[in-house]
Amino acid sequence: MRVFNFSAGPSVPPLEVLKEAQKDLLNYNNSGMSVMELSHRSKWYDEINDECISLIRELLNVPEDYHIILVQGGASTQFEAVPLNLLKTGKADYIVTGNFSKKAHEEAKKYGDIKLVASSADKNHTYIPMPSRDEFRADADYLHITENNTIFGTKYPSLPDTDLPIVSDMSSCIMSEVIDVSKYGLIYAGAQKNLSPAGVTLVIVRKDLLSNEMTVCPTMLKYSVHAKSNSIFNTPPVWSIYMMMLNLRYLKKIGGVPAIEKINRKKAQMLYDYIDSTPFYQNNVERSCRSIMNVPFVTGSKELDDKFVNKATEAGLVNIKGHKVVGGMRASIYNAMPIEGIEALIEFMKKFEEENK
Amino acid sequence: MRVFNFSAGPSVPPLEVLKEAQKDLLNYNNSGMSVMELSHRSKWYDEINDECISLIRELLNVPEDYHIILVQGGASTQFEAVPLNLLKTGKADYIVTGNFSKKAHEEAKKYGDIKLVASSADKNHTYIPMPSRDEFRADADYLHITENNTIFGTKYPSLPDTDLPIVSDMSSCIMSEVIDVSKYGLIYAGAQKNLSPAGVTLVIVRKDLLSNEMTVCPTMLKYSVHAKSNSIFNTPPVWSIYMMMLNLRYLKKIGGVPAIEKINRKKAQMLYDYIDSTPFYQNNVERSCRSIMNVPFVTGSKELDDKFVNKATEAGLVNIKGHKVVGGMRASIYNAMPIEGIEALIEFMKKFEEENK
């Protein structure tokens, strides 16, 4: 029996996609080989790579003046690749809205003059700060933000008001709603929430930003190197990129990003509406900043929270324990979480409330 | 129908391993989840990670004073991680025996005073140079070698005569024969030949070498960081490490590295013996330096070589085209290539010779 998996990542893929991967695992496309053993210099892999990149361009409507790059290492590697590739004046501005943006900010400090423009740490990251235009440095190379905060369940309600190129970590919200790529300088996203199994990271970067990497930048972290080789500079993680292609094909089939955004908003609304309808559960995020991907909630009692997590697991609602810095519960409801999963969760929450209030 | 895949990497995994991965793809170990969606903070993944690392320690007999680390990015990332982690005096010595060692040497030059001690470029890398002890710098931090040269089909017949810590790229020979890990300072290996599908790299490093990384070393490239977190510093490539665990379990079951070494030597011997028995085919590598993993050969005619590759592909012997810098053919016969694949290849070579001599 398959469970409903509320993991913050790696997270649930569409069941149809898993079944297709399973079916073709020993013999991909009549090649007589598994995808896992395809040479990355073969026509089969070229087709997978090209289709994957084309689907990203199509589904996110990525303008032609942006590179689409697939790299390894996770978003954590991008915390360093971003300054190593983009620092020209040596200055960059950061907004800290949670653990991952804090890490990105810390790593960048190794490589330049990094300004912390705003932080939501004062209220345990339950909101998104909105600095005024003049708080940013006009001569900074970029502004870094984390668009959706996986741990704290917040999301930027709108982009910061600045002319700086915006670098956005979209690991936990990529492809979840329609975005205007042209408003960004660079977008990066670890794949393991909405794109693919863990092991690959998507980078979308405006071409004109790539003119001079820092001399200490490792070749493998240079966007220009991967852009020039169409993401086949060295052996890529063939399986992860194949799985991404299958996921994106599926997303296209069900109507693309506008269609999944509608479903995502409905799923999140169902859950928030229920939480807001009862004093038994609380979500402590400022309403305008609520994530539609990660929904943290608590009962107010550590003991009850633990009981909730245990009973939910027994009921087949797994990986719902909140991150240790927030506590309580967190339902990560990425693209592939079906409406039925939300219904089952709300049903369970009602029953748990009845039995424990 | 499955083919015989002679790809230089990603390469063929054991069929039994592929079948097990296929069987469990929707529901791993009664978790109700695919391995691809397991949280990397779950007990299931902890067990996979721990078993994988334990199997590496057991199968290679890795002493306790060595860390075993699993990272992303491929061997190419290690070309830079090695100097960034190990340069203390700022000096390192390199031997160049092919394309990959040349790349490793080039990348290292960005970070220190790097000496090219010897190169086999004078004879198109058909042999392994053996510098005398006094050619190495006594105050260098390490000596870098590429143990098996995938493109040129060469292998070190014995380790260089030096007291420097030896750093060895074993991407294309790891687990293919018994080694004495204590003779090395650091071993690294991209997984996609003998360990796992592409997307993970094994690093084995003597603990005392990790005392001071360069200040510009990205956190994600620091061995100390991954060692301390038992290779779960950030989200690891869960699927690749699961596949590695399955591969290593299989290797253990069939008798471990001594058993596979015996098979590998037999496979290579069969092929070299046949090549040496007829003037129609030539392998141009100095005999003492022949690889048991990659066997390049030519007919001496570009036209015949092309015909060979095409006809072999039609016969289900695929990915046998040689690398462009060598030309001709190359049979990569990693651990998972069955004896039947070698027999089929030799049979085909005989027939091709008959029809074209």
Compute φ and ψ for B208, nearest 5 degrees. Answer: -70, -10
Of residues A247, A290, A250, A244, the one with CA closest to residue A271: A290
**pLDDT tens-digit map of A149-202:** 999 999 999 999 999 999 999 999 999 999 999 999 999 999 999 999 999 999
Is position B350 within any domain? Answer: yes
Choosing from B253, B273, B293, the residue where a domain stops is: B253
Q: Which of B232, B244, B167, B252 is closest to B198 using CA atoms?
A: B244
Domain boundary among B190, B220, B253: B253
Q: What is the pLDDT of residue B12?
A: 85
Indicate which of A111, A216, A334 best probes the interface with B, i.e. most B CBs within 10 Å of its own CB. Answer: A216
Q: Write down the pLDDT at residue B1.
A: 74
Q: Which domain holds residue A315?
A: 256-356
Structure tokens given for A38: 């395809």
Q: Would the CB atoms of A42 and B319 count as touching at under 8 Å?
A: yes
SS3 B198: coil
* pLDDT value for A233: 96
Judge if A300 and A211 occupy the same domain.
no
Is residue A253 packed enough to be buried (19+ CB in 10 Å), middle (13-18) or exposed (0-12)? exposed
Is A238 in contact with A52 (CB distance < 8 Å)?
A: no
- Which residue, of B253, B274, B309, is where some domain finishes? B253
Q: Do both B79 and B53 map to the same domain? A: yes
On whether residue A4 sits in a domain, the answer given is no
Residue B125 CA to chain centroid, in angstroms? 18
If asked whether residues A248 and A264 sit together in one domain, one would say: no
Task: Based on the fold, state whether residues B280 and B248 are members of the same structural domain.
Answer: no
Establish if A274 belongs to a structural domain.
yes
| Residue range A4-18, pLDDT digits in tens | 999 998 988 899 999
- Whether residues B140 and B221 share a domain: the answer is yes
Q: Quote the CA–CA distance of A226 and A230 in Å, as a whole number.
A: 6
**A31 in B contact zone (CB under 8 Å):** yes
Instruction: Judge: B77–A218 Cβ closer than 8 Å, yes or no.
Output: yes
B248 domain-assigned: yes
Residues B230 and B281 occupy one common structural domain: no
**What whole-number distance in Å separates Cα of residue A39 and Cα of residue A43?**
9
Side chain identity, residue A305: D
- The rounded distance, in Å, linking the Cα atoms of A106 and A93 is 12
Is residue B11 assigned to a domain?
Answer: no
Confidence at residue B95, expressed as pLDDT on a 0 to 100 scale: 98
B10 to chain A: which residues are within 8 Å by CB?
A: 36-40, 235, 238
Percent of residues, chain B, with pLDDT higher than 70 = 100
Q: CA-CA distances (angstroms) from residue B69 to A67, B96, B207?
A: 32, 25, 11
| Interface touch A72/B75, C-beta < 8 Å | no
Can you tell me the distance from the alpha carbon of B277 to that of B350, in angstroms, rounded to the nearest whole number? 11
Mean pLDDT of chain A: 96
Domain count, chain A: 2
Find the CATH number of the domain harbouring B286.
3.90.1150.10
> Pairing between strand A294-297 and A329-332?
antiparallel
Residues from chain B contacting residue A32 (CB–CB below 8 Å): 1-3, 5, 316, 318
Task: Evaluate the omega torsion of the peptide bond into residue A10 and state whether it is cis, within 30 degrees of 0.
Answer: yes
Whether residue B289 has pLDDT greater than 90: yes
Establish, for the pair of chains A and B, how many residue pairs have beta carbons separated by less than 8 Å. Answer: 205
pLDDT (tens digit, 9 = 90+) per residue, A246-257?
Answer: 999 999 999 999
Three-class secondary structure of residue A67 per DSSP: strand
CATH for A109? 3.40.640.10
Q: What is the mean pLDDT of residues B178-197?
A: 97
Please state, in angstroms and rounded to a whole number, the distance separating the CA atoms of residues A91 and A109: 10
Q: Do A72 and B38 touch (CB under 8 A)?
A: no
Domain match, A249 and A298 both: no
A193 and A276 belong to one structural domain: no
Q: How many CA atoms lie within 13 A of B356 on its CB side?
A: 19
Give tens-digit pLDDT for B76-101: 999 999 999 999 999 999 999 999 99
Residue A6 inside a domain? The answer is no
In this complex, do B33 and A77 lie within 8 Å of one another by their Cβ atoms? Answer: no
Same domain, B49 and B86: yes
Tell me whether residue B247 is in a domain. Answer: yes
Are A21 and A143 contained in the same domain? yes
> What are A95's two structure tokens?
């907004």
Query: In this structure, are A65 and A145 located in the same domain?
Result: yes
Contact status of A124 with chain B (Cβ, < 8 Å): no
- Same-domain pairing of A239 and A289: no
Residue A12's pLDDT is 86
**Other Cβ atoms within 10 Å of A252 Cβ, number:** 14
Using a CB-CB cut-off of 8 Å, the residues of chain A touching B70 are none
**Residue ranges for chain A with pLDDT beneath 50:** none
- Does any domain span residue A3? no
Token readout for A338 is: 């079906």
Amino acid at site B229:
S
